[in-house]
């Protein structure tokens, strides 16, 4: 404290302070060198040490893969080697082969006035397990959400600051195994209300609104191995309020509006990562308020008809509709969720008497509709399901 605060105040002590600093400098360097060498040695030991002493690594990996999912964050704190293994694709593969995967649903809800939001975690019994740590930064609207290797990626969006809309290029990732958030590389283009989906282990962001309020046709792809976003061939027309999904390695962009069409767009834009090209068909849904991919089909609800499920088959690009039964109120708006290969229809708002509907596409005719114990509280915004 004396060496920092006193030189500019008491001139008579400046010589003492300078000499003291000079005398301490070599020892400080030596200490830093000792710390650096010790840190490097510790890292090397961690990298080359066995996962579990006395066991071959293949056996140790199998043992770690048998631990219940709720214990992953604790396991990750044991050592770097454990943490690195738990985060890997290999860990997920071994758990799947061992039949130990657990399916959890992550649901984003907000309070009644929309000022606070949080992600909650649920399991199949309808039991709420926990609330996730808050995502860094201010609460945003219009973000893109995708799942990649048991991680939730949240990109872009906007926040209103003192009446001014600030559009973001930030990208955050939640690691569901380690229960922690981290910041990824920024997008090339700040955007909100855009289409976002995972395809072949990469994340695509297409269209939306930009920082100056213009609608966008730009498209970019995120490579997790390089932690980098790259701009690719643009959409054929600017598009916003749209959504995306993938089938058989092809990106599908649907819904929303385009500045080149009157009203809502029925175009389906399809991108082939293999051929780096777009093509289209005019056979999409319009004004979609909820959508989810289940198995090899896409399920949507349109604003004009909340009591019908529109089901898209990518094989022949056809649609068929299924009536939604009334549960508590015919005015209920829906947010979709997926669990155990079944479609869940959450009420967007808390509606007295409403029971969450469950649609099982594989059930016998006449018994596809049931009710589910899942019942998130608050305003339901989004949900994703992760097996790990």
DSSP 338-362: EETTEEEEEESS--TT---EEE-TT
How is domain 103-387 classified at the architecture level of CATH?
Answer: 6 Propeller (2.120)
Cα–Cα distance for residue pair 202/74, rounded to 1 Å? 28
Query: What are the Cα distances from residue 351, in Å, to 64, 116, 131, 325, 376?
Result: 43, 19, 22, 16, 11
CATH 2.120.10.80 boundaries in the chain: 103-387
Query: Across all residues in the chain, what is the average pLDDT?
Result: 84
The alpha-carbon radius of gyration of the chain (Å, integer) is 26
Structure tokens that stand for 211 in this block? 């920082």
Q: What is the pLDDT of residue 282?
A: 86
The stretches in the chain having pLDDT less than 50 are: 1-45
3-state SS class at 283: coil
Q: pTM of the full predicted structure?
A: 0.84
Q: What is the pLDDT of residue 47?
A: 53
| Of residues 231, 224, 52, the one with CA closest to residue 151 | 224
Beta strand spans in 12-116 (E): 103-110
Q: What is the pLDDT of residue 62?
A: 95
Beta strand spans in 23-162 (E): 103-110, 117-122, 128-131, 144-148, 151-155, 158-161
Q: What is the pLDDT of residue 263?
A: 59
Cα–Cα distance for residue pair 322/238, rounded to 1 Å? 31
Q: What is the pLDDT of residue 355?
A: 84
Count of all residues that appear for the chain in the document: 388
Q: What is the pLDDT of residue 257?
A: 87
| Of residues 250, 244, 252, 254, the one with CA closest to residue 272 | 250
Q: What is the pLDDT of residue 111?
A: 79
Q: What is the pLDDT of residue 3?
A: 30
- Contact indicator for 384, 145 with CB cutoff of 8 Å: yes
DSSP 181-250: EEE-PPPSS--BS-EEEEETTEEEEE--B-TTS-B---EEEEETTTTEEEEEPPPSS-EES-EEEEETTE
- Contact indicator for 100, 90 with CB cutoff of 8 Å: no
Measured in whole angstroms, the distance separating CA 210 from the mean position of its chain's CA atoms is: 21
């Amino acid at each position: 404290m004396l060496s920092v605060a006193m030189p500019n105040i008491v001139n008579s002590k400046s010589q003492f302070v300078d000499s003291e600093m000079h005398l301490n400098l070599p020892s400080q360097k030596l200490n830093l060198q000792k710390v650096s060498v010790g840190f490097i040695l510790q890292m090397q030991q961690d990298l080359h040490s066995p996962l579990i002493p006395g066991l071959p690594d293949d056996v140790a990996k199998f043992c770690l893969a048998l631990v219940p999912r709720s214990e992953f964050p604790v396991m990750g704190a044991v050592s770097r080697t454990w943490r690195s293994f738990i985060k890997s694709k290999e860990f997920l593969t071994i758990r799947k082969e061992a039949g130990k995967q657990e399916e959890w649903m992550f649901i984003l809800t907000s309070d009644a006035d929309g000022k606070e939001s949080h992600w909650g975690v649920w399991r199949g019994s309808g039991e709420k397990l926990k609330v996730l740590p808050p995502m860094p930064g201010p609460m945003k609207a219009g973000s893109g959400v995708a799942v990649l290797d048991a991680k939730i990626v949240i990109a872009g969006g906007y926040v209103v600051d003192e009446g001014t809309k600030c559009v973001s290029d930030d990208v955050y990732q939640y690691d569901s195994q380690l229960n922690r958030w981290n910041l990824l590389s920024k997008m090339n283009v700040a955007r909100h209300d855009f289409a976002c989906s995972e395809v072949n282990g990469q994340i695509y962001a297409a269209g939306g609104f930009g920082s100056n309020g213009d609608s966008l046709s730009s498209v970019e792809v995120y490579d997790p191995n390089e932690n980098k976003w790259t701009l690719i061939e643009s959409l054929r027309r600017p598009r916003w309020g749209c959504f995306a999904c993938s089938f058989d390695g092809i990106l599908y962009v649907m819904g929303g509006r385009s500045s080149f069409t009157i009203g809502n767009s029925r175009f389906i834009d399809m991108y082939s990562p293999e051929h780096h090209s777009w093509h289209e068909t005019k056979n999409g849904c319009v004004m979609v308020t909820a959508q989810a991919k289940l198995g090899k089909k896409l399920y949507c609800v349109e604003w004009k008809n909340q009591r019908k499920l529109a089901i898209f088959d990518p094989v022949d690009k056809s649609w068929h509709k299924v009536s939604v039964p009334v549960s508590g109120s015919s005015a209920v708006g829906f947010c979709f969720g997926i669990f155990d290969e079944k479609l869940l229809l959450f009420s967007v708002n808390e509606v007295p008497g409403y029971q969450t509907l469950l649609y099982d596409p594989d059930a016998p005719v006449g018994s596809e509709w049931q009710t589910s114990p899942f019942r998130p509280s608050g305003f339901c915004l989004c949900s994703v399901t992760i097996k790990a």
